[in-house]
Each structure stands twice: as C-alpha cells, then as structure tokens.
Structure 1
Amino acid sequence: MSTVNAYSGDTASSLEASEAPAQTRNRAWTGRIERNSPHAAALASLAFAYALSWAELGLAATIGLPGDTGSHPLAASVVARVLVGLLYLCVATRLQWARWVTVALGFASVALVAPTLALQWETFPAAAVVSGVALVCRLSASLFLLAPSADVEVSKKAGIA
C-alpha cells in the first residue's frame, strides 16, 4: 500500500514515510558542524582562545603569583576556565542562550582587557602576546556567532526550514 505525500507530490510506501522523520533528524545532526560554516569557524576560534587561556594561567604561574601564595585565587582561576569550557561546549551543541552569552562575554572581554595590553607588554611581553591573540580569537568567534547564516544554512540542509 502506498500513500501520497500531499505537500511534495511524491509517493512513498508507509515504511518509508515512517522513516522520513528519522532521516530528517539524522541529517540535522550530521549537518550541525560542517567545514566552511561560520559556526565551525567560531568553534575553532573558541577552542584556540580556550587553549590560550590555559597558557595565560601557566605564564602567570611561571612569573610567580603576586603577594602571598595562599591568598592568590588560583582555584578560582581554574574553576572559571572550566566553566567557560562548559559554556563553549554548550555553544558547540547550538544552544541559543550559550551563543548569546558567549557573544556578550567576548565583546566584554575585548572592551575590558584590550586597554590593559600596553601595561602588560611592559611587564611581560610574552603574556601580552598570548592575551592579545586570545582576544582576537574571542572577538572573531563573537563575530562568527553573530552571522545569521550560521543557523539558517543548517536548517535548510536538514530540510527543516
């Protein structure tokens, strides 16, 4: 027995019709991250910025922690990086709230940290370079996440939109 799909005019067996939602769902999952998309570029930028943030922590530990070692918030620095990593994982799964939080944090970090790079350059040039590259990565990721084609292209290819 065959059924007629009233929207596209194609005929399909009832078995194929029941598999259609599963195929659409599979195409949506496989099309989520693909090369040459703004979302993939944003994820690459976020991954590089995340790795550089750990390098910044290592450089800070190399030059010595300011003041008393017991009073430095080393544990808070590690926890903050872990939480940002979890946020980036939420961005990778395309959660909209995580996308907008990441964009806001990216622009805020650029606005607040960029003016301090000159002073950081005078103190420790290697750390200033690492911080500057991390800022560029966060800014580019924020701009890529603002691209409207990031979600529209995936929806079109998955047959959703």
Structure 2
Amino acid sequence: MITPRYISELLGAPMAAIVQAEGIAARATADFIKEVGFTGVSDNIDGDYGTIRNVTFSYERIKADGNTEIAILSVPLLTIIPIPSIQVAEAEIEFDLAMTQPEASPAPKGNSKLGNLSAYKGVQLKAIFAKKPNPSSNSTVTSATSNMNVKIRLAQSELSVGMVQLLNILDSANKEK
C-alpha cells in the first residue's frame, strides 16, 4: 500500500538528494586530489596529504648565445591534468502527484509577525506519486493532480578559489627553483 506523504516531503526529497549528490561529488574530487596529486600516506587524519606529486622531464633549449643546454622542468601533476569536479548546474524535477487527505494544520504558536494571520489554520496537503492524467480522456471526473518537472544536468564546475590559489602557489614555487 502506498502511504500518502506531505507534499513538502515529496518536494523536499529530490532537493535533498541533489544536495547529497553534490556532497558525494565534492568528496570524490577531494579524494582524487589527495590520491593523484600527493605522495604519502593516503589515510592521514590530520589533513597532511604528504608531498606534492611532480612530473619532471628534461628538454633541450637554445640559449641566447645560440648554444643548447638541457633544461629540467618539474611541475605539479595537478596543474597539468583535469581535476574531475562536477556540480548540478540545473535541476528540474518532474513527477506527477495525486492529492489526497488534506489535513488542517495547527495555528502558529506565539506572536506571529504576520499580524492578523497568527490565528490562521491552513491546510497541509498529502499526495502520492501518480501517473499524469490523460488529457484526451472523455472522463467527467475532476482530477486533482499537480505536475513538477525534474531534469538534472551535470556540468564541469569551475575551480574553487582555494584550488586556483593553490595552483598559483605551486606554479610560483616552481618558477623560484
């Protein structure tokens, strides 16, 4: 048997799921940075990730006098690979509800900032998930349904300010060598 729920619960559940998904994605990004960008113990509790993992290579370059020399370049791995970071760029929730069992809500307690509305008793609606009514049906029955559209689009998120600053520090430190 399907138990009717308050509409606020039905609407809030997908929004809470989106927030939880963003948290999971952020943790996955942090784990990637820790595992790929640093050497050392990967389960440090104190937040010390170890040493930056660098990529070092050498190449031949021509000096101002025309002679060649071997140059060595070492750059942090995190500065040359894409860091997987996604965010919910847009959420559009879509499902159909059939309204059931309206309930009177209690009057607000204490002094309300709404003045005369402090004694107002509203109605909290309950609903269940349902199929969208067929508009071509010749039924004379009135249907009390509400539609919400849900669509989730993921996109590569911008680097956080902290990550940009970290990459700039690493780049500056590399230039000082």
Same fold (TM over 0.5): no
TM-score scaled by length of structure 2 = 0.26
Q: Which protein has greater RCO, CA pairs closer than 8 Å, 6+ apart? A: 1
Asked which structure has the greater CA Rg, the reply is: 2
TM-score scaled by length of structure 1 = 0.28
Query: Relative to total residues, which structure has the larger strand share, 1 or 2?
Result: 2
Query: Relative to total residues, which structure has the larger helix share, 1 or 2?
Result: 1
